[in-house]
Structure 1
Amino acid sequence: MDATTPARSGVRCGNNPRGKGERLRADIITTAARMLDVLADDQALSLRAVAREVGIAATSVYLHFADRDALVLATLERFAADIGRAMEAAEAAAADPAEALRARTLLLGTRAQEHAGLYKVLYESTLNQRVELRFKRGFLESCVTAVQRCVDAGLAPRRDARATALDLMAAVHGSVSLRINRCDTPWPPFPEQLDRFLIGLVGLPARG
């Protein structure tokens, strides 16, 4: 560690008490997530800059992540997992399968817009193009399940749930991407647009 790098209290490379290594790894991911949300570009992130923000030597980052790709992957996986848990909670609070599908999809679109930088890295980055981010499959699979519940409850026509979910996800991600990349366009409120997607693509009745 050079004289300009602040020491992290209680952390010693190669001599971490049990649990401190895990906490440091979590701190590194949290910092990387905050930086990626601002940068909106995985290539613009540097491990040295992350280390500086956390307040540790750059070598300490390499103890947990082999390279930038490994750190970005871990950060995106946590971001996706956080959204997944939030969508499950939104579904659980809904009154019926139709409201559950709307609640989970609304949360996905809203959270993506709130963290536009992370969303761009998740779906539009060079890493996304080079590596299969398998943890993203959970968004589609849970959407298929939610659509199937609507069908089983008689709230949506008997269509192929996977094809319908793919249509819905394409519409939602397209809407979110356009809002992020064409923010000067007067887009309609996302909840209203989502309701039109659910009516037109899934076949749900109009709310109310």
Structure 2
Amino acid sequence: MDAKSPSKRQSRGRNPRGQGERLREEIVAATLRMLNDLGDDQALSLRAVARETNVAATSVYLHFPDRDALVLAALERCHQNLMLAVQQAELTEEGPVAQLRGRTLVLGAWAHDHPGLYKVLHESTLNQHADMRFKEELGRTTTAAVQRCMDAGLAPTDDASRVALDLRAAVHGAVSMRVNQPDQPWPPLEDQIDRFLCKLVGVSPAPTPTETTGE
């Protein structure tokens, strides 16, 4: 090869000003696709991500010092996208009970559509040694949604954080079993979530005309 002829991997060259962040976003997006396919962060390599993004491995290292840093950044972006979907689901519903049900259904649907990412987000070893405090937002917003039901008189007054934790544990259990044992004859997740809302939160999942006022 002529010394002046760049290789295919080198053809990308230096990123113009402002494109470094775009490359970082491309790397994160590629990582999310691969993690969803693999369902295991330990099976991911930076070189494989570089190939998927069509850059040299050194370009990945410029943005992420190691695999854990890359996976953590990808999971944080994943969680941001999930929270945005939850917020949008709440905006399409009227009344605290319908909003609580809508956000909970989104969580179940997301896990069904992204089983690999769900496993890495909740079951990977990163949960044991990495700072994943960004996941606390889900707990806070679920607690707030439960509290709104209580404040409206649509659920028995209780410790909203404890009730929200019970609800999250039940939903995660139902979702995790579906992800890890997909061939089992599971009942519709919507039906289970309705039962969780009734038994754990104490609400009727069907919204009523007076829901927003609590009268």
- The answer, yes or no, to whether TM exceeds 0.5 is yes
- Residue in structure 2 matched with residue 139 of structure 1 by the alignment: 138
AA at the equivalent of 2:127: N
Moved more, 165-174 or 125-134: 125-134
- Residue in structure 1 matched with residue 117 of structure 2 by the alignment: 118
Asked if the contact 1:6/1:55 (under 8 Å) is kept, the reply is no
Asked if the contact 1:92/1:100 (under 8 Å) is kept, the reply is yes
TM-aligned CA deviation for residue 6 of structure 1 = 3.6
State which of 7, 10, 29 in structure 1 corresponds to 2:9: 7
- Residue in structure 2 matched with residue 129 of structure 1 by the alignment: 128
- Residue in structure 2 matched with residue 37 of structure 1 by the alignment: 36
AA at the equivalent of 1:121: V
Instruction: Trace 1:46-195 onto structure 2 (pairs within 5 A).
Output: 46-195=45-194
AA at the equivalent of 2:106: L
Asked if the contact 1:65/1:71 (under 8 Å) is kept, the reply is yes
Structure showing greater radius of gyration is: 2
Asked if the contact 2:105/2:193 (under 8 Å) is kept, the reply is yes
Asked if the contact 1:113/1:180 (under 8 Å) is kept, the reply is yes
Q: In 2, Cα distance between the equivalents of 1:84 and 1:206?
A: 21
Normalising to structure 1: TM-score of the pair?
0.93
TM-aligned CA deviation for residue 8 of structure 1 = 7.1
Q: In 1, Cα distance between the equivalents of 2:130 and 2:78?
A: 17
AA at the equivalent of 2:45: S
TM-aligned CA deviation for residue 95 of structure 1 = 1.1
Q: In 1, Cα distance between the equivalents of 2:181 and 2:33?
A: 22
AA at the equivalent of 2:35: L
Asked if the contact 2:98/2:205 (under 8 Å) is kept, the reply is no
Aligned-pair identity (%): 57
Q: Deviations over 1:71-105 (max 9, x none)?
A: 00000000000010110111111110000000011
- Residue in structure 2 matched with residue 25 of structure 1 by the alignment: 24
Q: In 2, Cα distance between the equivalents of 1:16 and 1:28?
A: 14
Q: Deviations over 1:174-201 (max 9, x none)?
A: 1110001111211100111100000000
AA at the equivalent of 1:129: Q
TM-aligned CA deviation for residue 132 of structure 1 = 3.4
Structure 1 unaligned blocks of 5 or more = none
Q: Quick one: structure 1 residues 127 and 6, their matched pair in 2 at CA, closer, same or farther if it must change by over 3 Å? A: farther
AA at the equivalent of 1:63: L
TM-aligned CA deviation for residue 130 of structure 1 = 2.0
- Residue 156 of structure 2: SS of its match in structure 1? coil
Q: Deviations over 1:146-170 (max 9, x none)?
A: 0000101111110110000000000
- Residue 63 of structure 2: SS of its match in structure 1? coil
Asked if the contact 2:35/2:44 (under 8 Å) is kept, the reply is yes
Structure 2 unaligned blocks of 5 or more = 208-215
Q: In 1, Cα distance between the equivalents of 2:201 and 2:188?
A: 19
TM-aligned CA deviation for residue 206 of structure 1 = 4.6
AA at the equivalent of 2:92: A
Normalising to structure 2: TM-score of the pair?
0.90
Asked if the contact 2:97/2:205 (under 8 Å) is kept, the reply is no
- How many corresponding residue pairs? 203
Large movers: runs of 4+ above 4 Å: none
Q: Quick one: structure 1 residues 152 and 47, their matched pair in 2 at CA, closer, same or farther if it must change by over 3 Å? A: same
Asked if the contact 1:8/1:55 (under 8 Å) is kept, the reply is no
Q: In 2, Cα distance between the equivalents of 1:149 and 1:107?
A: 19
